[in-house]
Homo-oligomer: A and B are copies of this chain.
Amino acid sequence: MADKGWPVCAKSLKGVILDMCGVLYDSGEGDGVAIPGSIEAVKKLKASDLQLRFCTNETQATRETFVAKLQRLGFDISVSEVFSPAPAAVAVLKERGLRPHLLVYDGLVPEFDCVDKTNPNCVVIGDAAENFSYQNLNEAFRVLIGLEKPVLFSLGQGRYYKETDGLKLDVGVYMKALEYACDLKAEVIGKPSTTFFQSVLNDMGLQPHEALMIGDDLVNDVGGAQHCGMKGVAVRTGKYRPSDERHPTVTADGTVDNLAQAVDMILDQRH
Protein backbone atom coordinates (compact mmCIF):
# COMPACT_ATOMS: atom_id res chain seq x y z
CA MET A 1 0.00 0.00 0.00
CA ALA A 2 1.01 3.59 -0.52
CA ASP A 3 1.72 4.61 3.03
CA LYS A 4 3.11 8.04 2.26
CA GLY A 5 1.24 11.05 0.94
CA TRP A 6 0.47 10.52 -2.71
CA PRO A 7 1.44 13.43 -4.97
CA VAL A 8 -1.54 15.77 -5.24
CA CYS A 9 -0.60 16.61 -8.82
CA ALA A 10 -2.32 13.63 -10.43
CA LYS A 11 -5.26 15.65 -11.73
CA SER A 12 -3.00 18.23 -13.41
CA LEU A 13 -0.54 15.60 -14.64
CA LYS A 14 0.21 15.52 -18.36
CA GLY A 15 3.03 13.02 -18.61
CA VAL A 16 4.66 10.06 -16.86
CA ILE A 17 8.27 8.92 -17.14
CA LEU A 18 9.12 5.34 -16.20
CA ASP A 19 12.43 3.88 -15.18
CA MET A 20 12.81 0.45 -16.78
CA CYS A 21 15.01 -2.10 -14.94
CA GLY A 22 13.46 -2.77 -11.52
CA VAL A 23 10.16 -1.11 -12.52
CA LEU A 24 9.15 -2.94 -15.71
CA TYR A 25 11.34 -6.03 -15.35
CA ASP A 26 14.10 -7.65 -13.31
CA SER A 27 17.31 -8.34 -15.20
CA GLY A 28 18.98 -11.72 -15.08
CA GLU A 29 19.58 -14.75 -17.27
CA GLY A 30 18.35 -14.33 -20.82
CA ASP A 31 15.94 -11.41 -21.06
CA GLY A 32 15.08 -11.36 -17.34
CA VAL A 33 11.45 -11.40 -16.17
CA ALA A 34 8.61 -8.87 -16.29
CA ILE A 35 7.50 -7.60 -12.87
CA PRO A 36 3.89 -8.79 -12.29
CA GLY A 37 1.32 -6.24 -13.49
CA SER A 38 3.81 -3.99 -15.25
CA ILE A 39 2.98 -5.02 -18.84
CA GLU A 40 -0.71 -4.25 -18.17
CA ALA A 41 0.21 -0.99 -16.40
CA VAL A 42 2.10 0.27 -19.47
CA LYS A 43 -0.93 -0.63 -21.62
CA LYS A 44 -3.24 1.38 -19.31
CA LEU A 45 -0.96 4.43 -19.47
CA LYS A 46 -0.81 4.23 -23.27
CA ALA A 47 -4.61 4.06 -23.39
CA SER A 48 -4.91 7.15 -21.18
CA ASP A 49 -4.52 10.82 -22.16
CA LEU A 50 -1.13 10.96 -20.45
CA GLN A 51 2.10 11.16 -22.39
CA LEU A 52 4.53 8.35 -21.66
CA ARG A 53 8.30 8.08 -21.93
CA PHE A 54 10.87 5.60 -20.64
CA CYS A 55 14.13 6.70 -19.08
CA THR A 56 16.97 4.26 -18.35
CA ASN A 57 20.64 4.34 -17.42
CA GLU A 58 21.13 1.03 -19.26
CA THR A 59 24.49 1.11 -21.05
CA GLN A 60 25.25 -2.54 -21.79
CA ALA A 61 23.38 -2.62 -25.10
CA THR A 62 22.28 -0.28 -27.86
CA ARG A 63 18.82 1.20 -27.45
CA GLU A 64 17.56 -0.98 -30.32
CA THR A 65 18.79 -4.22 -28.72
CA PHE A 66 17.48 -3.17 -25.33
CA VAL A 67 14.00 -2.25 -26.61
CA ALA A 68 13.79 -5.53 -28.57
CA LYS A 69 14.35 -7.38 -25.28
CA LEU A 70 11.50 -5.48 -23.60
CA GLN A 71 9.25 -6.23 -26.56
CA ARG A 72 10.06 -9.95 -26.25
CA LEU A 73 9.04 -9.73 -22.58
CA GLY A 74 5.65 -8.41 -23.78
CA PHE A 75 5.96 -4.64 -23.38
CA ASP A 76 4.46 -2.24 -25.90
CA ILE A 77 7.50 0.03 -26.23
CA SER A 78 9.23 1.64 -29.22
CA VAL A 79 12.78 2.99 -29.52
CA SER A 80 11.65 6.59 -29.94
CA GLU A 81 10.00 6.52 -26.49
CA VAL A 82 13.19 5.41 -24.71
CA PHE A 83 15.84 7.81 -23.39
CA SER A 84 19.24 6.32 -22.50
CA PRO A 85 22.65 7.87 -21.83
CA ALA A 86 24.58 6.77 -24.92
CA PRO A 87 22.55 8.71 -27.54
CA ALA A 88 22.60 11.71 -25.19
CA ALA A 89 26.39 11.39 -24.96
CA VAL A 90 26.73 11.20 -28.73
CA ALA A 91 24.78 14.46 -29.02
CA VAL A 92 27.04 16.17 -26.45
CA LEU A 93 30.22 14.89 -28.14
CA LYS A 94 29.10 16.19 -31.54
CA GLU A 95 27.97 19.52 -30.12
CA ARG A 96 31.33 20.10 -28.41
CA GLY A 97 33.52 18.56 -31.13
CA LEU A 98 34.91 15.93 -28.79
CA ARG A 99 36.49 12.63 -29.85
CA PRO A 100 36.01 9.96 -27.19
CA HIS A 101 38.17 7.17 -25.91
CA LEU A 102 35.51 4.60 -24.97
CA LEU A 103 35.54 2.37 -21.91
CA VAL A 104 32.14 0.69 -22.30
CA TYR A 105 30.51 -2.72 -22.67
CA ASP A 106 31.12 -4.30 -26.08
CA GLY A 107 27.38 -4.24 -26.81
CA LEU A 108 27.26 -0.45 -26.49
CA VAL A 109 30.03 0.37 -28.96
CA PRO A 110 27.73 0.56 -32.04
CA GLU A 111 25.94 3.57 -30.46
CA PHE A 112 29.18 5.49 -31.08
CA ASP A 113 29.72 4.32 -34.68
CA CYS A 114 28.89 7.78 -35.99
CA VAL A 115 31.46 9.53 -33.75
CA ASP A 116 35.08 10.27 -34.65
CA LYS A 117 37.25 8.40 -32.15
CA THR A 118 40.70 9.14 -33.60
CA ASN A 119 43.21 11.00 -31.43
CA PRO A 120 40.82 11.14 -28.45
CA ASN A 121 40.38 14.33 -26.43
CA CYS A 122 37.96 12.97 -23.81
CA VAL A 123 36.96 9.69 -22.15
CA VAL A 124 33.47 8.15 -21.98
CA ILE A 125 32.81 5.38 -19.46
CA GLY A 126 29.68 3.26 -19.18
CA ASP A 127 28.81 0.12 -17.25
CA ALA A 128 31.69 -1.81 -18.81
CA ALA A 129 31.48 -4.73 -16.33
CA GLU A 130 34.25 -7.26 -17.17
CA ASN A 131 35.81 -4.66 -19.47
CA PHE A 132 36.79 -2.72 -16.31
CA SER A 133 40.13 -4.54 -16.21
CA TYR A 134 43.19 -2.91 -14.65
CA GLN A 135 44.68 -2.52 -18.11
CA ASN A 136 41.58 -0.84 -19.57
CA LEU A 137 41.12 1.52 -16.62
CA ASN A 138 44.81 2.39 -16.77
CA GLU A 139 44.48 3.12 -20.49
CA ALA A 140 41.54 5.48 -19.89
CA PHE A 141 43.56 7.13 -17.11
CA ARG A 142 46.56 7.68 -19.38
CA VAL A 143 44.37 9.30 -22.01
CA LEU A 144 42.92 11.68 -19.41
CA ILE A 145 46.19 12.55 -17.67
CA GLY A 146 47.77 13.25 -21.06
CA LEU A 147 45.15 15.90 -21.95
CA GLU A 148 45.67 19.56 -21.16
CA LYS A 149 42.02 19.83 -20.10
CA PRO A 150 40.90 16.31 -19.24
CA VAL A 151 37.16 15.66 -19.79
CA LEU A 152 35.47 12.56 -18.41
CA PHE A 153 31.87 11.64 -19.21
CA SER A 154 30.19 8.99 -17.08
CA LEU A 155 27.03 7.31 -18.40
CA GLY A 156 25.22 7.33 -15.05
CA GLN A 157 26.76 7.24 -11.59
CA GLY A 158 25.24 4.10 -10.03
CA ARG A 159 27.07 2.32 -7.22
CA TYR A 160 25.92 -1.24 -7.94
CA TYR A 161 23.05 -3.25 -9.34
CA LYS A 162 21.61 -6.67 -8.74
CA GLU A 163 21.74 -9.59 -11.12
CA THR A 164 20.59 -13.14 -10.58
CA ASP A 165 24.10 -14.15 -9.47
CA GLY A 166 24.52 -11.27 -7.02
CA LEU A 167 25.48 -7.61 -6.76
CA LYS A 168 27.65 -6.05 -9.48
CA LEU A 169 29.72 -2.85 -9.35
CA ASP A 170 28.26 -0.13 -11.55
CA VAL A 171 29.88 2.67 -13.55
CA GLY A 172 29.80 5.25 -10.72
CA VAL A 173 32.45 3.30 -8.86
CA TYR A 174 34.90 3.60 -11.77
CA MET A 175 33.91 7.23 -12.30
CA LYS A 176 35.02 7.94 -8.71
CA ALA A 177 38.24 5.99 -9.34
CA LEU A 178 39.17 8.09 -12.39
CA GLU A 179 38.05 11.33 -10.70
CA TYR A 180 40.51 10.65 -7.88
CA ALA A 181 43.30 9.47 -10.18
CA CYS A 182 43.11 12.60 -12.35
CA ASP A 183 41.85 15.07 -9.72
CA LEU A 184 38.83 16.06 -11.82
CA LYS A 185 35.02 15.99 -11.69
CA ALA A 186 33.21 13.83 -14.24
CA GLU A 187 30.22 15.07 -16.21
CA VAL A 188 27.37 12.62 -15.63
CA ILE A 189 25.17 11.89 -18.64
CA GLY A 190 21.95 10.05 -17.76
CA LYS A 191 19.99 10.02 -14.54
CA PRO A 192 20.16 11.95 -12.17
CA SER A 193 21.43 14.72 -14.48
CA THR A 194 18.94 17.57 -14.83
CA THR A 195 19.96 18.01 -18.49
CA PHE A 196 18.95 14.41 -19.13
CA PHE A 197 15.53 14.68 -17.48
CA GLN A 198 14.98 18.03 -19.22
CA SER A 199 15.57 16.41 -22.62
CA VAL A 200 12.73 13.97 -21.87
CA LEU A 201 10.44 16.83 -20.81
CA ASN A 202 11.37 18.76 -23.98
CA ASP A 203 10.44 15.74 -26.08
CA MET A 204 6.99 15.67 -24.42
CA GLY A 205 6.69 19.46 -24.58
CA LEU A 206 5.93 19.59 -20.86
CA GLN A 207 6.96 21.68 -17.88
CA PRO A 208 8.52 19.82 -14.94
CA HIS A 209 5.46 20.28 -12.68
CA GLU A 210 3.31 18.55 -15.32
CA ALA A 211 5.32 15.31 -15.17
CA LEU A 212 5.89 12.45 -12.75
CA MET A 213 8.86 10.06 -12.60
CA ILE A 214 8.44 6.50 -11.27
CA GLY A 215 11.55 4.52 -10.36
CA ASP A 216 13.20 2.06 -8.00
CA ASP A 217 16.40 4.09 -7.50
CA LEU A 218 15.68 6.67 -4.82
CA VAL A 219 18.64 8.92 -5.58
CA ASN A 220 18.93 8.69 -9.36
CA ASP A 221 15.24 8.34 -10.31
CA VAL A 222 13.24 10.01 -7.55
CA GLY A 223 15.79 12.54 -6.30
CA GLY A 224 16.95 13.39 -9.83
CA ALA A 225 13.39 14.05 -11.02
CA GLN A 226 12.58 16.12 -7.95
CA HIS A 227 15.74 18.18 -8.44
CA CYS A 228 14.47 18.90 -11.93
CA GLY A 229 11.10 20.11 -10.58
CA MET A 230 9.07 16.95 -11.22
CA LYS A 231 7.33 14.74 -8.70
CA GLY A 232 9.10 11.47 -7.95
CA VAL A 233 7.44 8.23 -6.90
CA ALA A 234 9.32 5.18 -5.60
CA VAL A 235 8.30 1.56 -6.16
CA ARG A 236 9.08 -1.29 -3.77
CA THR A 237 10.48 -3.48 -6.56
CA GLY A 238 13.91 -3.82 -8.16
CA LYS A 239 16.73 -2.44 -6.03
CA TYR A 240 14.32 -0.97 -3.43
CA ARG A 241 15.42 -1.45 0.16
CA PRO A 242 13.31 -0.57 3.24
CA SER A 243 16.03 1.87 4.34
CA ASP A 244 15.15 3.96 1.24
CA GLU A 245 12.09 5.17 3.15
CA ARG A 246 14.38 6.69 5.79
CA HIS A 247 16.90 8.19 3.36
CA PRO A 248 18.71 11.22 4.84
CA THR A 249 18.34 13.52 1.83
CA VAL A 250 15.70 12.16 -0.58
CA THR A 251 12.00 11.67 0.29
CA ALA A 252 9.77 10.29 -2.43
CA ASP A 253 6.49 12.11 -3.16
CA GLY A 254 4.89 8.71 -2.87
CA THR A 255 5.99 5.12 -2.29
CA VAL A 256 3.98 2.24 -3.75
CA ASP A 257 4.36 -1.52 -3.92
CA ASN A 258 4.84 -1.65 -7.69
CA LEU A 259 4.15 0.07 -11.00
CA ALA A 260 0.66 -1.47 -11.32
CA GLN A 261 -0.40 0.14 -8.06
CA ALA A 262 1.06 3.51 -9.03
CA VAL A 263 -0.73 3.54 -12.38
CA ASP A 264 -4.07 2.54 -10.85
CA MET A 265 -3.80 5.36 -8.29
CA ILE A 266 -2.88 7.94 -10.94
CA LEU A 267 -5.68 6.93 -13.27
CA ASP A 268 -8.26 6.63 -10.44
CA GLN A 269 -7.52 10.22 -9.35
CA ARG A 270 -8.09 11.51 -12.87
CA HIS A 271 -11.64 10.14 -13.15
Contacts and interface: CB of A to CB of B under 8 A. Distances in A.
Query: Main SS of chain A's interface residues?
Result: helix
16 contacts: A131-B134, A132-B134, A133-B134, A137-B169, A138-B169, A141-B167, A141-B173, A142-B166, A142-B167, A159-B180, A159-B181, A160-B181, A172-B180, A174-B177, A176-B176, A177-B177
Contacts of A117: none
Interface in A117-172: 128-135, 137-138, 141-142, 145, 159-160, 166-169, 172
Nearest to A129: B134
Contacts of A138: 167-169
Copies of chain A in the complex: 2
Interface residues on A, range: 20 to 34
A242 B134 CA distance: 28
Contacts of A174: 177
Given A159-B181, A173-B177, A177-B174, A135 B141 contact: no
Interface string A215-228: 00000000000000
Top 7 A-B pairs, shortest CB-CB distance: A176-B180, A177-B177, A132-B134, A173-B177, A173-B181, A176-B176, A130-B134
Contacts of A159: 180-181, 183
Contacts of A133: 133-134
A130 B138 CA distance: 10
Which one of A134, A141, A160 has the highest number of Cβ atoms from chain B below 10 Å of its Cβ? A134
A270 to B, nearest CB: 39
Nearest to A145: B167
Interface string A18-40: 00000000000000000000000
A175 to B, nearest CB: 8
A178 B62 CA distance: 28
